[in-house]
Amino acid sequence: MNALPAAAGVGVRLAGVGTALPERTLTNDDLAALVDTNDQWITKRTGIKTRHIAEDGTTTCSLAVDALRAALNEAGMQPGDLDMVLLATMTAEMSCPSTAARVVHEVGATPAGAMDITAACSGFVYGLNHAETLVRSGHYKTVAVIGAETLSRITNYEDRGTCILFGDAAGAAILTADEDTSRGCLAQTMRSDGSLWGELYVPRTADDLPEKHDGFTGRFNTLQMNGQEVFKFAVTTTQAIIDETLEKAGITPADLAAVIPHQSNRRILELVKKRMDLPEGKMVINIDKYGNTSAASVPLCLNDKVAAGELKEGDLVLFVAIGGGMCWTTSLWKL
């Protein structure tokens, strides 16, 4: 391994991770009762077996609050230790106020700063990069990043092309200043290409439809997706930004302790894993249990890895995500 890039500013460590999942689950067999599909097709084409679905009364905000409390607990911190909360979601209950502001109030962290991030499935990793930079700058000591979604509320359960994929969840991570300046983000990318927005979008009215909208399912306020195009885009961009990020840091896949990707489709992840020549177990894949939970998927994976005791101080971990926008991003960390 070559020398890692010199880090400037304050060191940053991940102090705690927490998650929240609704109790109710929806299996592939449950979906087969709703649309023309079956467990074998869904398992083979996506790797998903089940997903969690919010009950009445469970919201993006309530899941985010539960995940943040769990992360604070893991970090051994109090709500008052938080200087800022960044919350990534594409299923905020309201456009104003931000969900983050309500979460800060609910956990008792007022007057910490609060802001939502809208970058679809890339949101948590975008948030991680922003939070790390806030802490590294020395202006903020402790920042929480949350990915929280209730995708079931924008899913058309008559569209078999999308309803098989999505689940509800939240995950949170607490970032805090560390005296070791080599800890934190070593390299990152945050990209977008808005010309592709019509491949994955949630139209509110006919005014929102793209010019070419022959794939529109006819149901407003639900997710519309060109699955094949998104699949191809995900494979190529994920590989390209991973290569670019590792090159920036002067390391190779063999140096990584873990790759923590957004859980879009098991086949996408397997293709990337093969291309990187990653040994078994290094890429975290838990899509079978939760489906695609958009901004929540990366912290769900991180939490699984931490809970299994498989990450230690000094490990190099690569976070990577791609989603609607299109937006795509990486964050390479030395823990």
Active site residues: 121, 262, 292
How far apart are CB 217 and ligand COA at their closest, in Å? 12
Residue 327 in contact with residue 269, Cβ under 8 Å? no
Q: Which of residues 210-229 bind ligand COA (CB under 6 A)?
A: 225, 227-228
Query: What are the residues whose beta carbons fall under 8 Å from the beta carbon of 138, sequence distance 6 or more?
Result: 9, 10, 177
Residue 18 in contact with residue 200, Cβ under 8 Å? no
**Cα 163 from Cα 284, distance rounded (Å):** 23
Residue 238 in contact with residue 188, Cβ under 8 Å? no
Give residue number: closest CB to ligand COA: 227
Which of 216, 231 has the CB closer to ligand COA? Answer: 231
How far apart are CB 163 and ligand COA at their closest, in Å? 8
Task: Tell whether residue 160 is a contact of ligand COA (CB under 6 A).
Answer: yes
Which of 18, 323 has the CB closer to ligand COA? Answer: 323
From 28, 155, 265, 303, residue interacting with ligand COA (rule: CB under 6 A): 265
**Cα 247 from Cα 312, distance rounded (Å):** 23
Which of 37, 62 has the CB closer to ligand COA? Answer: 37
Task: Tell whether residue 161 is a contact of ligand COA (CB under 6 A).
Answer: yes
How far apart are CB 235 and ligand COA at their closest, in Å? 9
Which of 46, 176 has the CB closer to ligand COA? Answer: 46
Which of 139, 213 has the CB closer to ligand COA? Answer: 213
Which of 7, 35 has the CB closer to ligand COA? Answer: 35
How far apart are CB 323 and ligand COA at their closest, in Å? 4
Which of 10, 117 has the CB closer to ligand COA? Answer: 117
From residue 203, alpha-carbon distances to 208, 225, 263 in Å are 5, 11, 23
Query: What are the residues whose beta carbons fall under 8 Å from the beta carbon of 97, sequence distance 6 or more?
Result: none
Task: Tell whether residue 121 is a contact of ligand COA (CB under 6 A).
Answer: yes
**Cα 157 from Cα 152, distance rounded (Å):** 9
Per-residue tokens: 288:
């079978």
How far apart are CB 225 and ligand COA at their closest, in Å? 6
Q: Which of residues 38-57 bind ligand COA (CB under 6 A)?
A: 41, 45-46
From residue 95, alpha-carbon distances to 43, 101, 106, 329 in Å are 35, 12, 18, 24
**Cα 133 from Cα 10, distance rounded (Å):** 9
Q: Total binding residues for ligand COA by CB under 6 A? A: 19
How far apart are CB 312 and ligand COA at their closest, in Å? 30
Specify the stretch interacting with ligand COA by CB under 6 A; choose among 76-84, 128-136, 142-150, 230-238.
230-238
Query: What are the residues whose beta carbons fall under 8 Å from the beta carbon of 312, sequence distance 6 or more?
Result: 257, 335
From 89, 264, 330, 331, residue interacting with ligand COA (rule: CB under 6 A): 264
How far apart are CB 231 and ligand COA at their closest, in Å? 4
Q: Which residues bind ligand COA (CB under 6 A)?
A: 37, 41, 45-46, 121, 160-161, 164, 225, 227-228, 230-231, 234, 264-265, 292, 322-323
